[in-house]
Structure 1
Amino acid sequence: MPVTTNASMPAGDGIVERYEVGARLYHWGGVFLLMAALGASGLALYAPGTMPGTPISWLRLHEFFAGLFIVGVFLHIGFSLMQGEPWSMWFERGDFSDLMRMIGYTLGKQTRYPHFGKYDVVQKLYHLILSILVGVLIFSGIALTLNAEVLVTSSHDWMRSQRLLHDASSFLIVGMVLMHAYLRLLKSNWPTLVAMFTGTVSLEYFRRHHDYNRWSPHTLPAGEARDRIGPTAPIPKVSPAEATRPSP
């Protein structure tokens, strides 16, 4: 793959820590499991009769799962700011030129593809849009819950607007999550999919896709990695064209 940076790379063999344990637990439990529960209970409310009856009303279940989801979001933000790498999702000065090169490469007008920090600009845009939609989902959901529990009395127009916002943001989030899952299953993205289980990627993969000047992660020698983390799954070989595919 053409390289657009002369950044120094870690020498030797080993693996690179990409996702810490907390991020992986939040990804699988806090996002996919809770969002699946929210989707099922939300569908029962949106289209009554589509889901089987339960001893507890679907409204109560939806409120319960929503509460867990909100707590998880705030915990994720807190841990990211205190122990994670929050800067890795912030936009950088070179992101716009990277985006232009990505578009040009996709259209066949560029032969050079940029190396990125921990996340590329497409992933950052994906995260930004998803964060906005989650904020709208939470705000509108709280408004609807307060009215459903008769804690506040809102006008019909206000409630209608909140329902529209809640439904629209829900469907958009589901669509983005499905798109994310599809892209993760592409062969070129298998190494990062495996990393969501193991927490690591190979140093070879890091050199192919990342700029060490923009992201300098902790590198573990192969022996130390086996002692601390356990053996990693083999990284599938992909063609240079597949390796440059954007991956939210």
Structure 2
Amino acid sequence: MVQKTNNSKQSQILRQSLINRFVHWTTALSVILLIITGLGQLPLYTRYNVTKLPGAAWLGDYFITIKLHYLGALGLIFVAAFHIVYAFARREFDIFPRKGDLKESYQIIKAMLTKGQEPASDKYLAEQRVAYLFIGLSLILLIVTGLIKTLKNVPGVDLSHSLLYWNTSLHNIGTGLIIFGIIGHLAAFLLKDNRPLIPGMFTGFINREYVKHRHSLWYAKLLNRGEISESSLEAAENLKSDGNDRANTQTHSF
């Protein structure tokens, strides 16, 4: 049992820290709440009889949806500010876009579809950094226009109708962009090559061999920094091999 535990630890690499997972899931839940309640402000749910479904009547209540919308907005603003401050304080810019990401994203997607050779990747694939930029800019657009929409409700603040019109239009565009971004983000996992990354957003860990072969640049950095070692992996593999040999021997003895 001890050998199995040691082997499990050595065969996994921490890719997403607890902080990263907190930021990811807080953002996801805040955005989902904002989309659901935002659509209720239009009001789509009443128009298309969604509110007649069991337990869905609250979706047509303006005062409930607006309060939940503000709650989602507070969560999003907090986690966005936290993420930026934390990233710069720790100088963790792995997910930030880099020059040439668009070209490299094309090469990666082409390789996945044609079973060709992908370019060597760092901790994050180029396409993931591009997606981060797209979703990040969309969220910034939502936050800025959302704050302006809130400002119009402050007593003594008088905003022009032209500003409010364009601000609302941009807010709606931002909503459409973020929905598109979420669909694209989830659709990426329809590709088999991306699926081993999924456990990382729940447990934080992903398969070591996957990292070694698909994220070779990051793997090399981990080796150079001494955070992992090839000898520990070989030892874990030997333990696994010895355990299998003993199991086979015991089976044959019967």
TM-score interval for Structure 1 and Structure 2 normalised by the shorter chain? 0.7 to 0.9
Deviation by residue 1:5-42 (Cα, 9 ceiling, x = unmatched) = xxxxxxxx5322210011112212x1221112111110
Distance 1:68 1:186, change over 3 A: same
1-structure distance, mates of 2:191, 2:143: 31
Tell me the TM-score normalized by structure 2: 0.71
Q: Is this contact kept in 2: 1:117–1:212, CA < 8 A?
A: yes
Q: Which has the larger radius of gyration?
A: 2
The structure 1 residue matched to 2:85, chosen from 63, 71, 78, is: 78
Higher-RCO chain (CA-CA 8 Å, sequence separation at least 6): 1
Alpha-carbon RMSD: 2.9
Corresponding residue for residue 228 of structure 2:
219
Moved more, 183-192 or 37-46: 183-192
1:210 counterpart residue number: 215
Give the TM-score taking structure 1 as reference length.
Answer: 0.72
1:125-140, aligned counterparts within 5 Å? 125-140=130-145
Q: Deviations over 1:90-118 (max 9, x none)?
A: 404x646634644664686x953211111
Q: Secondary structure at the match of 1:148?
A: coil
**Structure with greater proportional helix content:** 2
Q: Percent sequence identity over matched residues?
A: 24
Report the equivalent of 1:158: 163
What does residue 18 of structure 2 align with? 21
Contact in 2 for aligned 1:115/1:210 (Cα 8 Å): yes
CA deviations 1:142-166 (Å, max 9, x no partner) are 0000103345211111000000000
* Contact 1:63-1:145 within 8 A present in 2 as well: no
SS in 1 for 2:35: helix
2-side partners of 1:106 and 1:15: how far apart? 23
Q: Does 1:43 align with 2:39?
A: yes
8 Å Cα contact 2:120-2:214 kept in structure 1? yes
Distance 1:116 1:215 in 2: 11
Q: How does 1:165-180 map to 2 (within 5 A)?
A: 165-180=170-185
- Quick one: distance in 1 between partners of 2:188 and 2:110? 20
CA offset at residue 77 of structure 1? Answer: 1.4
Shift of 1:215: 6.3
Separation in structure 2 between the aligned mates of residue 178 and residue 107 of structure 1, nearest angstrom: 19
Count of matched residue positions in the alignment of Structure 1 and Structure 2: 208
| Residues 25-65 of structure 1: CA deviation (Å, up to 9, x unaligned) | 2212x122111211111011122635533594322321222
The one-letter code sitting in structure 2 at the alignment partner of 1:39 is I
- Distance between the aligned counterparts of 2:113 and 2:160, measured in 1? 50
> Post-superposition shift, 1:185?
4.8
